[in-house]
Structures are given as structure tokens and as C-alpha cells.
Structure 1
Amino acid sequence: MKLCAVTLDCPDPLALAEFYQRATDYAPHPMSDAEFAGLIGPGGFFLGFQRVDDYQRPQWPGPASPQQSHLDFAVPDLDEGEKRLLGLGAIKAEHQPNEQRWRVLLDPAGHPFCLVIEGEQG
């Protein structure tokens, strides 16, 4: 079994796809539209974004609208990775449980994701 795709709910699939495309350099899927957009990564991995009416941003940490899941991205340097993603529109989460080992950021739709040092994930 091989994980081949992850899809995130959001209010604007094209905007969120653009954020992650700029962050990862994954290729835009040619069939993307306002309802469902996607990116194609290494080995054909698919990162999708689907529009949801009345989308509720995740709250991290918080039980009212929990994160449900999150993505981790390996970077060579936490400070440089954080700076780059903040420049693309990410927001640094207030709660940082271990800022020396990883950084928790929020994408433009509010999904939490982590930056980890390459080779130290898992």
C-alpha cells in the first residue's frame, strides 16, 4: 500500500493550491477549478483542495474546531523555512510546543502544518 494523495477542505481551492504550489514547487494539476484544485508532487503524489460550503477554520490547539490532521514539511533550516512561508502568507501559530525542534504554522485557510529539520522527522 502506498499513500498517493491528501485532500484538504477549504473555502477557496485555487488560492490554497497556489499557496502550496509556491511553498513546494509541486506542479498544478491541469483539471483544477474553483471546486477542486490539485498539485502533483514527486512520484505522482497528489495534494488536493476541495471547496466546502460554510468552511470552519481549524483551531490549533483547541477542541471547538480541532486540527483533525496536519502536514509536516522537512526544511534544512527552521528559521529560514519559517521566514519563507510567512512571506507566502502562512501565519505562525501562537502555541509552539517545541520551537527548537519544529515550528507550527497555519496555511491561509487555517490548516496547521509543521516545519521540521530534514532528517529529524518521525
Structure 2
Amino acid sequence: MSRTSSLPVAVGTVTSYAFWGDDGKALAAFYASALGWQVTQEYPDENGVPTAFLVTDGTTTYVFYTAKDFKAPNWPEDELPFHLDLAFDDIETAEQRLLDLGATKPAHQPGGEHWTVLKDPSGQPFCISAARAPQDA
């Protein structure tokens, strides 16, 4: 059921994507290295301890938080509320590089030839696939 309103429509934009892990700094470093981006800022908690770390390419920003009570999902048993899909020009080289950076490859691989599931150092699944050619408009 939709509700109507006489208020003007507010147009929003996504400014960043936030992820929690047991070590936000390590997670930020992992994804920055994986994507060839930079960790650009750190934000402290109320005690002055850095707990939030920004990773960006200048157009897209990810924020990685240290969460004291973080528990990685027990995937594939647990459903995931979201995950990242990353594309690379050379998928075999990318997979090996990600594994060298600390990712792991679970036995369960539902993507067949289309994608590969890896887990980041915090234990959260993400997918990698070959970069697609741009579609004609």
C-alpha cells in the first residue's frame, strides 16, 4: 500500500557504503589493496581510538568500522543482507592476489562459471567475476 503526500519528493544520493568487521583498519587495507584504491581518512571513536576508515577512488567511498562484537556470517547457512561484487579484467590473477592479501575461498561455490565467492579477512563473503564489456546504449 502506498501513501501519498503533498510534500515535494526528496532526491537523495548514496555517499558511501559502510561495513563492519572485527578490525576496520585491516579490512580497509584489504579492500584498498584489492581495488587499487587508497585509505584516505580515519575517524576516532569517543575515546580517540581510530575505528572508522575510508577507502575511495574519488567517486565511490567505502567506510570500514571496527565493531567489538562483530561476528562474521556463517555463510552459506546464514542469509546475507548484502555483499560486494567485484569485477576484474584478469580474474585468475585477481583471485590469486586476493588470496595472497588474506581472502579465503570457501568450498561452496554457487556461481559456476559466472562468479567465484571469496571471504574477506573478517569472514564476510564477496564475489569476484570477469569485467564485462560496456553495453551499447
Tell me whether the two structures share a fold, i.e. TM-score over 0.5.
yes
Identity percentage of aligned residues: 32
Question: 1:57 aligns to what?
Answer: 72
Greater C-alpha radius of gyration: 2
Report which of the two has the higher share of helix.
1
SS of 2:41 mapped into structure 1: coil
Structure 1 length as normaliser, TM-score? 0.85
RMSD: 1.7
The counterpart of 1:36, out of the listed 36, 44, 52, is: 52
Number of aligned residues:
117
Q: In the TM superposition, what are the counterparts of 1:1-122 in structure 2 within 5 Å?
A: 1-32=12-43, 34-43=50-59, 45-63=60-78, 66-119=79-132
Which consecutive aligned stretches of 4+ in structure 1 deviate over 4 angstroms post-superposition? none
Runs of 5+ unmatched residues, structure 1: none
Runs of 5+ unmatched residues, structure 2: 1-11, 45-49
Structure 2 length as normaliser, TM-score? 0.77
Deviation (angstroms), 1:77? 2.9
Aligned residue type for 2:55 = L
